[in-house]
A and B are shown apart, each in its own frame.
Chain A
Amino acid sequence: MRPQISERYLPEKDSQACGLFGVMNTAGERFGGEMAINAMANMKVRGNGLGGGFAIYGLYPEFRDYYALHIMFERHQPGAKEMVDEFLADHFHVVYDEVIPTNKKATVLNPPVVWRYFVSPRRHPEEGNNLSDDEFVVEKVMHINTRIDGAYVFSSGKDMGVFKGVGFPEEIADYFMLDRLYKGYIWTAHSRFPTNTPGWWGGAHPFSILDWTVVHNGELSSYGTNRRYLEMFGYYCTLYTDTEVMAYAVDLLMRRQGLPIEVVSGIFAAPMWDIIEHMEPERRELYKTLRMSYAPLLMNGPFTVIVAHHNEMFGLTDRIRLRPITAAAAGDFVFLSSEEASIRAVAPRLDLAWTPPGGEPVVARLHTKDYLASLTRAV
């Protein structure tokens, strides 16, 4: 029997911090990857080359009505692609598919094959029509991730996509030629410094389900509790890293249950009880109710996340801000980053730069100035 070759890289234990960056044009204008890539290069010391990735929204306008599946196939599982192709043909109308073009000269280690498919659901009569299209896609993504060895879905939303892998973010960008080939109105990016879980292509950020993406700095020590709770709703964690639960939790709370981030932040980063006690009666009732109803989705431990989906990008830290965040605005652009300097490196003229308290989200929404709400108690 051939020995298994590991595609996971275990770093020596070291304490550092990942780098996060997000930029959105609130007027919906699409722009290239230059800002996101250069901002990540500016924060190079926040990562160690074991993971980098980007999420782009407004990516495939010509296929905007179809789910865009980015699927990674590990090279030591040559049968995986065939199995996925059969599975997709069985459950979807695949209108177009191709290998995602890559730069053969880029310096990345041991890349898998990454393929994109544009699909719409094809229901079998016996499946009935109970599931919405989104639920149908979630179920099929979970099937691929849990049942087909060597295949992992990077992203599965409409008009968006995730590109990620093992390397510094600028190397991943170079490998997928992001600066040359793509435009979008939101770009989020991540530079990884894995401490507790291995570095591998599927484990790089962003994590995604449907069109939700999460980039994360920190560690969710509540992972076990969160994961068990999410399994009750059909979300299965397969990617060997804590951030995955955050992606499924935002899908559950925001898409399925329709809660806005202003409420969800009170679940993920619930205020301390002694702070809740000193709130106005109405707010006190709200936060008490949230803590009691959604205790298993409290995200404990240090974190900063940048979450995006169509029309919206937001940043959130844990309630005692054990990881940094800076927000900034310049014209129609809203920025979120681990460091102010990385924003100034790509947008020297800012109208505003600020940092809200822990647990308070900065929300950038299309055609609004909702981000200004986070200025009230910011420094």
Chain B
Amino acid sequence: MAVSCARYGLREMFLGGVRSLEELRSRLSIEGQEAEIDARDLVHKEINDLIREAALSGARRITLLNVCGQRYIGTRLFLPQQDGKIEIHVYSTPGNDLGAFLAGHRIVVHGNAQDGVGNTMDDGEIVVHGRAGDIVAMAMRGGRIFIRDSVGYRAAIHMKEYTGKVPVLVIGGTAQDFFGEYMAGGIVILLGLNLKPGERHHAHYIGTGMHGGVIYLRGEVAPYQLGREVGVLELDDKDRRLLHRYVGEFARHFNLNAESILDDRFVKLMPVSKRPYGRVYAY
């Protein structure tokens, strides 16, 4: 009885009422390589169907208007037969998991982003002209993410790298707790541009469980704000070249002066062990 009631009671909140491409075609306009999609009241599958349709029709620059909370924008765009990558401009507030599994394309958000930006992103670029929520760049494995303002909890959680694939995350503001938690690879740069002079970063448990990759941090933190698995190091020339490159890119996206940002002191956080819990669970 309970089971049949459950079937009756439980409804499909993701795919219920999804309309076909034919019904939605009036939402999409394409002129040459430019496309525009009116996303008002569309659900995420409908938006991604339209983006895919635009891409397959030859569009290379797609503008999404009236986006308000729809998830997974830009996923499902693995197009190995197609030449050239796609640039997606999002107005104004995309939902969770923006650019999840992103396959080399570029997403620019003209507003704030929510949780899970670049979740397991493979390659490409995400630029957010605003703030982002929790778990930015979760399990990211390639490409670059630039966030103009601050981010929430657990940014860069379990970011990873493998041979030549090294993901990069640059954040202009500050971050909340568990920044770089369980990080396994990649490059993370936290600029603290919105902190007042003398104000420390607010995050606690920075780099807890970190066992790979590197965090560059501009601005002050107290030792107790760091996880036990990270050590603090001074920068060498290789680090400075790397910062020069990615802070330069960040500054170009948001019209800032890279030199004045780079003039300030940075510290480097690296894991002290590749297997921080290796002895905890072994018996």
Contacts and interface: CB of A to CB of B under 8 A. Distances in A.
Interface of A: 3, 5-6, 8-12, 42-45, 47-50, 109, 166, 168, 199, 274-275, 278, 320-321, 324, 326, 339-342, 344-345, 353, 355, 357-358, 377, 379
Contacts of B13: 44-45, 47-49, 168
A32 B111 CA distance: 28
A9 B2 contact: yes
Interface string B208-235: 0000000000000010100000000000
B152 A321 contact: yes
A259 B174 CA distance: 33
A234 B139 CA distance: 47
User: Chain A interface mostly helix, strand, loop or mixed?
Assistant: loop
Nearest to B174: A379
B177 A320 contact: yes
Nearest to B70: A341
Contacts, number: 106
Most A-side CB within 10 Å, residue of B93, B134, B178, B224: B93
A9 B5 contact: yes
Contact of B224 (A9, A44, A278, A326): A278
Contacts of A9: 2, 5-6, 8-10
User: Chain B interface mostly helix, strand, loop or mixed?
Assistant: loop
Contacts of A340: 93, 112, 114, 133
Contact of A339 (B96, B131, B150): B96
A344 B92 contact: yes
Given A48-B13, A339-B95, A357 B202 contact: yes
Contact of B69 (A109, A339, A353, A379): A339
Given A339-B96, A357-B202, A48 B153 contact: no
B77 to A, nearest CB: 20
A3 B29 CA distance: 59
A10 B10 CA distance: 9
Contacts of A45: 13-14, 43-44, 71
Contacts of B153: 320-321, 358
Given A9-B10, A11-B10, A278-B224, A341 B177 contact: no
22 contacts: A6-B2, A11-B10, A12-B10, A45-B43, A45-B71, A49-B10, A49-B13, A50-B10, A166-B9, A321-B152, A324-B134, A326-B133, A339-B69, A339-B96, A340-B93, A341-B94, A341-B114, A342-B69, A344-B93, A355-B152, A379-B150, A379-B176
Given A11-B10, A166-B9, A342-B69, 15 more contacts: A9-B2, A9-B10, A10-B3, A11-B9, A12-B10, A42-B68, A45-B13, A45-B14, A278-B222, A278-B224, A321-B134, A339-B95, A339-B114, A358-B153, A377-B202
A137 B246 CA distance: 63
Interface of B: 1-3, 5-6, 8-11, 13-14, 43-44, 68-69, 71, 92-96, 112, 114-115, 131, 133-134, 149-153, 173-178, 202, 204, 222, 224
Nearest to B44: A45
A324 B133 contact: yes
Nearest to B1: A6
Given A6-B1, A8-B2, A353-B112, A344 B10 contact: no
A358 B205 CA distance: 13
Most A-side CB within 10 Å, residue of B5, B95, B149: B5
A338 B134 CA distance: 12
A23 to B, nearest CB: 16
Closest 5 CB pairs of A and B: A341-B69, A379-B150, A49-B11, A9-B9, A341-B93
Contacts of B222: 278
Contacts of A358: 153, 176-177
Given A12-B10, A341-B93, A342-B69, A379 B175 contact: yes
